[in-house]
Structure 1
Amino acid sequence: MVRHSRVDIIKPDQLNAEDVRVWQGFMAERDDLIGPYFDVRYVMAIGQSVPKAFVARLYDGDRIAGYFPFQRRGRTIQPLGAPLTDYHGIIGERDLEVDFKALLKSLGAQHLVFQGWVGPMNPAARTTHHIRRIADLTHGYDAWFEAQKAEHHKFFKNIGRCTRNVEKDFGGFEFSWEMATSAIIEWIIEQKRLQYKRSGLHDVFTCGWTLTLLKTLADYQDQGFGLRVGVFRNKGDLVAAEICLVKGDNLHFWFPAYAESYGRYSPGILLSMRIMQHVEALGVKRVDFGCGGEQYKHVLTTPERACLEGVVSSVPSVGEMLLDQLVEILPVMKHRIKNVRLSLRRRFNIIQACEVSASGWLKAMGGTARRALSRAANDQAA
């Protein structure tokens, strides 16, 4: 067992060649740190775009035992790139044991908030378990398709109907697998912002730095790593597009979007399947859909490893206490309190991650509180 004994804090652009070598060595020995978010190139690419971005070097004596990329938000720290970084954890030796309260003290923080933690966590942390959803293309796209179709016949029958309707009405959509240009990123973000507005969720792109992060990452191209976009067009017009993050034979679906006028054809699902068919021929073996609750993900994937959402604190969290008080005054049934609390905590964490100015934070929190009270009142009236 390895215990960290001290911590150095550096900026992401201060990672040197030796850091890269050691980091990649940790990745090679850890089969749970799968995918692009744990890659040192991801951290180096986005580091200058993220406000108050740092990397903690964890030492065992004089030897580096691990790294933790993070961002500082007051007395709270979050994994670097939150809320956009879907998975995170400490990139370190397999048997590294971290004293998280000591780590918080070393980093000058009181709380660590996370949404997709992979690896060991403090048993005292308040956590919710989620399951990563994976499409396994190891035996090819056709084998994946037949296996999922056998399990979810009705869904794939409906998808077949959508495909025929696209052929009948448009002669099919033109598919392309492209570099992520500023123009296509901006189109996707425009659709996402409309979606946030309709749903009442916080717009994660209002703050500005999150869009800069995507564009900076798009400019960072390395062997077997970077952003790519799958696109459907109809006579030159954009129908649907999905930003993907690729590392070797792993692909992570990141930001999907489609034009509402094509909604009845399920273009987002059709595009995801077309992307998988295309990248399987390029050597991709594993497609990560994240751990969100959308039903289509459960149909197109199989469960893999668990990840954690939650908070670990060295002192009582004011934010958690405020959430408790807000939940208490909401007119909701007691059996719904847990879900309401989790929803509010997620919104609070997203706002805290995005909004680094006091005015932006206050505006976003005020809007969230008003929506929560309005929705709870409507639910009670119903």
Structure 2
Amino acid sequence: MGDVLTIEAIKAGDLDSEARTAWQAFRNARPELASPYFDLRYVLAASQVAPRAGVAVIRRADELVGFLPFQRRGGLIQPIAAPLTDYHGLVAKPGVEIDLSAVVSALGARRFRFAGLVGGCGQVQGEGRAAMIADLSDGFEGWLQQRRAAGHGDFLRDKRRRLRQLEAKYGKVTFTLEKRAAEVLDLVLNVKRGQMLRTGQHDIFSVRWTQALLRRLTNSTEAGFGLKFAVLRAGDKIVAAEVGLRSGDSYHLWFPIYDPDYAKYSPGALMTMASLEALAEAGVKRVDFGPEGESYKRFFADPMGRVLEGEVRGEPGPLRALTYAAMEAAPPVLRRATRRLDRRLDRITACEPELPGRVGAIMKNVALIGCRHRGLTVGAGLGLAALGVALAAK
């Protein structure tokens, strides 16, 4: 009986002092939970704006052993504030293994889908990627020595050369790292929305709550927590900017932009190097670039730990069990296509809590795909839309 889990879903704001103290103790004891997304202050902010957000409070016997922040979308649960929350998972007591499928079932959900699962999830299978971390524990000069030792000296010299060229043509290059720069947030959001439109991705900032979360984090008055805004200017022109999230001595690079007219000068890389120097001076020890994938990350960061993309299922009924078995028996090419569609639908479902909103977003995305892929027939487009609507309703 001592192994039986008791799981209660509550609002994050209803966590009592005992639970909040335990959350902080669990996080402090587990280095893999250093990301700002595991800071209770982030979860509290997200819970105030993300639709149908909650926290699963997990006990074994009478002992509090863990938490899972989540948001509910019908029979699906997702990380709280998905798709904005890059890292997610259990905040659990060290040494305690918690069966996530039992948590999913106890929450009355069919599936828990995730893209960056970390922390206390050794039993979960999924597609793994390395988390790319810049180590600033020895300061900025220590980081420079690390990069040279890793064979990136030519990269650093090239960026110094480009900085001189940028200044020579456009005037003095300046950098700031500040809080509460609402105009910078507006600029980043406008550029990101344009990028998503051009690339056929769902506009995650087309709904009010995603923008509301960023503005709430912007206005945070908590010491050592909240959004920071990196801005690189050449003369009076903003050539690169980035929104980042800080929690104590950990920092996550979140939404970068740069002006493509200045691409030959690598403004994004120049801004990142300036950010690392400023963050080191501010006492940050760890800067997270997110999961591996983009090749530029290896110039700045090293792989430290892994995150998983996939899903955990609750106890399925007979019909759903047959559906899962058929999907797993499908040819690899079909499984890969389904995963790609799932990623697209995850973004839509996260942003749109109601089925009518999801259907409208899916139809809009199919239209965008049709514009980008002129060979897509009407029948194929309608079939893709019907499949998307069916999957979104699961």
TM norm structure 1: 0.88
Give the whole-Å Cα distance in 2 for the aligned partners of 1:358 and 1:312.
22
Q: Does residue 354 of the first structure (1) align with residue 351 of the second (2)?
A: yes
TM-superposition CA deviations, 1:118-145 (whole Å, max 9, x none)? 124374x551101100111122212322
Q: Give yes or no for contact 1:65–1:92 (8 Å, CA) kept in 2.
A: yes
One of 361, 364, 375 as aligned partner of 2:361: 364
Contact 2:171 2:235 in 1 (8 A): no
Distance 2:364 2:335 in 1: 21
CA displacement at 1:376 relative to structure 2:
7.1
SS at match of 2:105: helix
- The aligned amino acid for 2:353 is V
1:331 aligns to what?
none
Q: 1:72 to 1:254 in 2, by over 3 A?
A: same
Give the match for residue 242 of structure 1.
242
Cα offset, 1:287, TM superposition: 0.8
Distance, in Å, in 2 between the alignment partners of 1:166 and 1:290 is 28
Native 8 Å contact 1:218 1:227 kept in 2: yes
Determine the C-alpha separation between the residues in 1 that align with 2:96 and 2:366. 40
Q: C-alpha separation between the residues in 2 aligned to 1:68 and 1:90?
A: 5
Q: Residue type matched to 2:126 in 1?
A: T
Q: Secondary structure at the match of 2:33?
A: coil
SS at match of 2:284: coil
Residue 143, structure 1, aligned to residue 139, structure 2? no
CA gap of 1:108–1:147, structure 2 versus 1, over 3 A, is same
Rounded to whole Å, the distance in 1 between the matches of 2:272 and 2:122 is: 36
- Superimposed CA distance per residue, residues 296-331 of structure 1 (whole angstroms, 9 cap, x where no aligned partner): 11221111001111111123898x979x99xx9xxx
Structure 1 residue runs of 5 or longer lacking an equivalent are 329-333
Q: Give the conservation status (yes or no) of the 8 Å contact 2:179–2:228.
A: yes
What is the deviation of 1:350? 1.0
Partner of 1:115: 115
CA drift of 1:229 comes to: 0.9
Q: Which moved more, 1:44-53 or 1:355-364?
A: 355-364
Task: Give the whole-Å Cα distance in 1 for the aligned partners of 2:96 and 2:137.
Answer: 31
1:218 aligned onto 2:218: yes
Within-5 A mapping of 1:1-382: 3=3, 5-121=5-121, 123=123, 127-150=126-149, 151-314=151-314, 315=316, 339-369=336-366
1:203 partner amino acid: D
Q: CA deviation at 1:243?
A: 1.0
One-letter amino acid of the structure 2 residue matched with residue 198 of structure 1: R
**TM-superposed deviation, 1:340:** 3.9
Note the alpha carbon deviations across 1:352-381, whole angstroms, 9 max, x for none: 1111233331122224445557767769xx
CA drift of 1:339 comes to 4.9
SS in 2 for 1:223: coil
Residue 149 to residue 371, structure 1, CA distance change in 2 (3 Å): farther
Displacement of 1:44:
1.2
* 2-structure distance, mates of 1:109, 1:127: 19
**Residue pair 1:5, 1:61 contacting (<8 A) in 2 also:** yes
Cα deviation for residue 30 of structure 1 reads 1.6
2: CA distance, partners of 1:73 / 1:15: 22
Say if 2:202 and 2:361, in contact at 8 Å, map to a contact too: yes
Which whole-Å CA distance do the structure 1 matches of 2:196 and 2:255 have between them? 13
Q: What's the CA shift for 1:153?
A: 4.2
Residue 68 of structure 1: how far off its partner (Å): 0.9
Stretch of structure 1 that moved more, 149-158 or 213-222: 149-158
Change (3 A) 1:269 1:337: farther
- Partner SS for 1:143: helix
SS of residue paired to 1:351: helix
- Shift in Å, 1:43: 0.9
Moved more, 309-318 or 346-355: 309-318
Q: CA RMSD in A?
A: 2.7
Distance in 2, matches of 1:188 and 1:321, equals 42
Partner deviation per Cα, 1:91-129 (whole Å, 9 max, x = no partner)? 111222223232122211110011111124374x55110
Counterpart CA distance in 1 for 2:195 and 2:56 is 36
Partner of 2:381: none
Aligned equivalents of 2:234 and 2:356: distance in 1?
42
CA spacing shift, 1:341–1:264, aligned 2, 3 Å: farther
Higher mean Cα deviation, 200-209 or 159-168? 159-168
Instruction: Decide whether aligned partners of structure 1 residues 159 and 321 sit closer, same or farther in structure 2, where only a CA change above 3 A counts.
Output: farther
User: Contact (CA 8 Å) 1:231, 1:240: kept in 2 or not?
Assistant: yes
Comparing 98-107 with 73-82, greater Cα deviation is found at 98-107
Residue 227 of structure 1: how far off its partner (Å):
1.2
Q: How many residues of Structure 1 are paired with residues of Structure 2 in the alignment? A: 368
Structure 1 residues 59, 182: CA separation in 2 closer, same or farther (over 3 Å shift)?
same
